[in-house]
Structure 1
Amino acid sequence: MELAPGGTHTFTTGDSEWIVLPLGGACTVEIEGKEFQLLGRESVFAGVTDFAYVPRDARAQIASGAGGRFALAGAKCERRLPARYGPAPEVPVEDRGSGNCARQVRNFASADAFDCDKLIAVEVITPGGNWSSYPPHKHDENRPGAETELEEIYYFEIDGPNGFGYQRVFPSRVGGSDVLAEVRTGDAVLVPDGWHGPSVAQPGHAMYYLNVMAGPGQERQWRICFHPDHVESTGGYR
């Protein structure tokens, strides 16, 4: 969502919980009498940002004096949790992988970092020329202790003009999702099921993506299964 200077956006959350995440710029989020000042950031490549959690069955307004771009990440939920502010210094930042699989993961709303009912969300920065979301993995069935059923959205931004990347999704079952997408800033790839990865960054152009996940199970955890043909590559993941 993009707001012009002085712009506002008002929405009701219905049966979903939401996170307001600045992509570029600052804003104020007002939720039923509570007001959160989000300092934001210049761009997604400038570092982590603060954010606001908006509960279900609420009315919220986003206002930006200087204008900016903001992501609304949401998922249907059952519990109504309190509206909250997420400070940038409390966002866990993880350097994951090694070599040409190295990337940075910002776990701002991972299951272990921030309390939501269903929603899980993280940001990933992949250096130019590197692969991330690798080895291919899936989370499309519930296997207690081994895998959680989660649908997922990838939202992309590419650093620099004319940059692009690629995202692969392939079937884990007959008739499953099968996608090879060229992605640029503003593009999204849906992963309702299937193996997904790699996410490939063009040399010279870092790639950002926002992962938003949720599922029907009672356990809010990111438990994944690596593709058996690529399980030897998990060293690059760790």
Structure 2
Amino acid sequence: MNLLQKPILFPLNEKVRLIQYITGENSVLEHVELSIYDVEPGGEVSYHEADLESCLVVLSGKVTVAVSNGETYTDLGTRTSVFDKVPTHSVYIGKNRFYTITAETKARILIAASKTDHSLPDSLIKPEDVLLESRGSYQNRRYVQTILSDQDTVSDKLLVVEVYTEGGNFSSYPPHKHDKDHLPDESFLEETYYHEINPPQGFIFQRIYSDNRLLDQTMSCTNQDVVIVPKGYHPVGVPDGYTSYYLNIMAGPTKMWRFHDDPNHKWIKNRP
């Protein structure tokens, strides 16, 4: 099972470069799809998602998004880099929509998608709509920007979260999983991690493992890598001197985030 996807850096034309493209056809995932593009000014990326809801996140730069229902969103984007550490604009787009993203400046865009049976209205998610939160203590500190949570009604299935972790800290830690449909204690959610690192020559470590260790992979992840988490625990460790950014996409049968901590490491939460 290949859980680490390296950047493909595929030029679609002189103004659009595909960085990552993950679907149910080229991965083991059934609920989560992901694509990431670098777009030069004036470049366009067009989509028609018949059975998928989407969340477009403007990682950096500025874009315009035109949707087939007649809505156009202009001047979207607040960052020159994800490491500006400020919330950005995102657009939720319901199933069976045509939409076009046009770069106003050099831009990097991420499109998260999941299958859905429901047609929900499109929605602009403004920076002030993003939930800001600090989590953890000791060497387990991270800063979280939640774009789509399990508490909102914007999407049917999608959860989208940005996380910053400074060097010397662990994130998604203590190790937890959400791979059983056993509500209210645990929900089944697939997940992807899109990683960026500052400075970009750095690396982080991510381990994916199950209780029985039939799945147990530890990966050295570099800038623009994607890690696929179909199941299992999935902690992230960041070496000294580097800052980790990752964007999580989660989706499953039920839009509810209920996780189970690894019993061997749950004690870490109970430190004073």
Instruction: State the superposition RMSD in angstroms.
Output: 1.5
C-alpha contact (below 8 Å) 1:150/1:216 kept by paired residues:
yes
- Residue correspondence of structure 1 range 58-97 to structure 2 within 5 A: 58-97=97-136
2:241 pairs with 196, 204, 216, which one?
Answer: 204
C-alpha contact (below 8 Å) 1:159/1:207 kept by paired residues:
yes
Deviations 1:130-171 (A, max 9, x none): 111001111001112100000110110001131110101112
Q: Partner letter of residue 219 of structure 2?
A: A
Percentage of identical aligned residues:
36
Structure 1 residue 65: deviation in Å? 2.0
Structure 1 residue 114: deviation in Å? 5.5
In structure 2, the partner of 1:228 is: 263
> Is 1:194 paired with 2:232?
yes
List runs of 5+ in structure 1 lacking aligned partners.
Answer: none
> Is 1:6 paired with 2:42?
yes
How far, CA to CA, are the matches of 1:56 and 1:171 in structure 2? Answer: 33
List runs of 5+ in structure 2 lacking aligned partners.
Answer: 1-36
1:43 pairs with 60, 81, 86, which one?
Answer: 81
Matched residues, number: 233
Q: Partner letter of residue 239 of structure 2?
A: Q
How far, CA to CA, are the matches of 2:153 and 2:88 in structure 1? Answer: 14
User: Aligned in 2, Cα 1:12/1:195: closer, same or farther, shift over 3 Å?
Assistant: same
Deviations 1:41-75 (A, max 9, x none): 11111111111111111101000121210111111
Deviations 1:12-67 (A, max 9, x none): 11211111101111101111110112133111111111111111111010001212
Deviations 1:97-152 (A, max 9, x none): 01211100111111124621011110100011111100111100111210000011
The TM-score with structure 1 as length reference comes to: 0.94
Structure 1 residue 174: deviation in Å? 6.5
In structure 1, the partner of 2:219 is: 181
C-alpha contact (below 8 Å) 1:17/1:76 kept by paired residues:
yes
C-alpha contact (below 8 Å) 1:91/1:113 kept by paired residues:
no
In structure 1, the partner of 2:32 is: none
In structure 2, the partner of 1:132 is: 171
How far, CA to CA, are the matches of 2:49 and 2:200 in structure 1? Answer: 35
The TM-score with structure 2 as length reference comes to: 0.82
